[in-house]
Amino acid sequence: MDAASQPLEGALAGLRVLDFSTLLPGPLATLLLAECGAEVIKIERPDGGDGMRNRAPAFGGDSAAFALLNRGKRSVAIDLKLPSARAQLLPLLESADVLIEQFRPGVMERLGFGYDSVRAVNPRLVYCSITGYGQAGARAERAGHDLNYLAEAGLLSLAAGADGAPAMPAGPVADLAGGSYPAVLNILLALERRVRTGTGCRLDIAMADNLFPFMYAALARGFAADDWPAPGPGAWSGASPRYRCYRTLDGRYAAVAAVEEQFWRNFCAAIGVLPAAASAGAVAAVIATRTAAEWERAFAGQDVLVSIVRTVEEAVRDPIVQAEGLFRRTVSAAGRSMPALPLPVAAALRTPAGDATYPPLGEANALLGPAP
């Protein structure tokens, strides 16, 4: 096998990451790093570990969600409150390149693992903290979850139902888009800077703050014209007939995104309505006359920007998605396997491992130093 055809180790091979986080934002961030070849070591409580291990449904003795989020990682089980914990973790702290934690501000300091304390033994460490509101300020100590961050950033107000109530998000937008992805972005930038400076740094990832870029259009209106969007349907949340979902005859929905004029005219021609008369009501009345399958056939091959709203199962099993290999990687445990999370990382940067397991609690405790 020549060098060009040999499988790569992954873009982050050789890096060691200590993951003190639990549940979703931090673990997804470290999953991305692990998929690129970094050695990720989860630091977990001995009494049950990461709370995600206990979620239903079960997979391999823990949970399917935990398996998906922690594929390819290792696990150390240690009580951080014990006086011996710091001495036992010292070898890992000294050798780590990245540390991720998502406790409330001040917790890591009280446990003896604050940034200043850890930097004293490893000045090259990139130390990343993920919280709802950041490490300082009036909101720093406030507890919160995804819905709280969306509400306080104003993003939740931009989509509302017919009764005016904010539409509930279908996924953890703040956790992922405001937490996991910004964390990985900043970690990679900090590692690049370390190449030039030789030193690490402290990263403060505030999920609520990182939601504002999603409202670029609303901010542009407000800042430039003092025209702040009122809560309720807007141009991108159902107010425009060109960008909304319409119910079909069989109770499914067609998602229309014909914003630009040429697409709108194509769409109107396809449903037999004049553009000047194509109000939301008029379009809804026409879409309601056929089933989703009938509309899908009618729109096939036409530049109309219409998609039938699929279930998750339909989306996963779509022949085109299957052909693209989006779910070709797997996670396995106890004789079972399932598709791994498809991650937004180019194939050239990832490890070649098509299948990997997730770590049993404490399987890597041999990496700990001796208790004093």
Give 11-21 pLDDT, tens digit per residue.
999 999 999 99
Q: And the tokens for 263?
A: 């697409």
Question: What is the predicted pLDDT for the residue at 1?
Answer: 33
**Helix count (H) and strand count (E) of the chain?**
14, 14
Q: What are all long-range contacts of 326-331, with beta carbons under 8 Å and residues at least 24 apart?
A: 328/354, 329/353, 329/354, 329/355, 329/356, 330/354, 330/355, 330/356, 331/67, 331/68, 331/71, 331/355, 331/356, 331/357, 331/358
Domains in the chain, ordered, with CATH? 3-212+329-367 (3.40.50.10540), 253-308 (no CATH)
Cα 336 to its chain centre, rounded Å, is 25
Which candidate, 41, 34, 128, places its Cα nearest to that of 92?
A: 41
CA atoms within a 13 Å half-sphere pointing along the CA-CB vector of 310: 11
Give the strand pairing for 98-101 and 58-59.
unpaired
Q: How far apart are CA 165 and CA 142, in angstroms?
A: 25
Q: What is the pLDDT of residues 277-334, one digit of tens each?
A: 999 999 999 999 999 999 999 999 999 999 999 999 999 999 999 999 999 999 999 9
pLDDT at 6 over 50: no
pLDDT tens for residues 225-251? 999 988 766 666 667 899 999 999 999
Helices (H), 198-308: 216-225, 261-271, 280-287, 292-299
Count CB neighbours of 153 within 10 A.
20
pLDDT score of 3 more than 60: no
Residue pair 207/129 in contact by the 8 Å Cβ criterion = no
Taking residue 237's Cβ as centre, other Cβ atoms within 10 Å add up to: 16
CA distance 344 to 32: 8
Q: What is the pLDDT of residue 363?
A: 97
DSSP E strands in the chain: the ranges are 16-19, 39-44, 58-59, 62-63, 74-77, 98-101, 126-131, 201-206, 243-247, 253-257, 306-308, 330-333, 336-339, 355-357
Sorting pLDDT into bands at 50, 70 and 90, what band is 4? very low
Q: Write down the pLDDT at residue 2.
A: 39
Characterize the bridge pairing of strands 330-333 and 355-357.
Answer: parallel
Residue type for position 159: A
Round to whole Å and give the CA distance between 93 and 82: 16
**At residue 7, does pLDDT exceed 70?**
no
Please tell me the distance from the alpha carbon of residue 207 to that of residue 209, in angstroms, as a whole number: 6
Which residues are tagged catalytic?
Answer: 145, 175
Cα pseudo-dihedral 16, 18, 21, 23, rounded to 10 = 50
The CA dihedral of 92, 94, 97, 98, to the nearest 10 degrees, is 60
CA–CA distance, 166 with 183 (Å, rounded to integer): 28
Tokens of 189: 């930038």
| pLDDT, position 371 | 87
What percent of the chain stands above pLDDT 90?
89
Q: Mean pLDDT over all residues of the chain?
A: 94
**Mean pLDDT, residues 17-31 taken together:** 98
pLDDT exceeds cutoff 60 at 174: yes
Predicted local confidence at residue 160, as pLDDT: 75
CA distances (Å), 230 to each of 159, 225, 241, in order? 10, 14, 18
Compute the half-sphere exposure of residue 67: CA atoms within 13 Å on the CB side of its CA.
23
pLDDT number for residue 158: 87
Whose tokens are 């823990």? That residue is: 62
Question: What is the model's pLDDT at position 272?
Answer: 96
Residue 49 φ then ψ, to 5°: 70, -155
Q: From CA 111, how far away is CA 106, in angstroms rounded? A: 9
What digits encode the pLDDT tens for the residues 208-229?
Answer: 999 999 999 999 999 999 999 8
pLDDT band at 262 (very low <50, low <70, confident <90, very high): very high
| pLDDT tens string 71-128 | 999 999 999 999 999 999 999 999 999 999 999 999 999 999 999 999 999 999 999 9
Calpha distance 173→55 (Å, rounded): 20
pLDDT for 5 equals 39
**For the segment 195-208, what is each residue's pLDDT rounded down to a tens digit?**
999 999 999 999 99
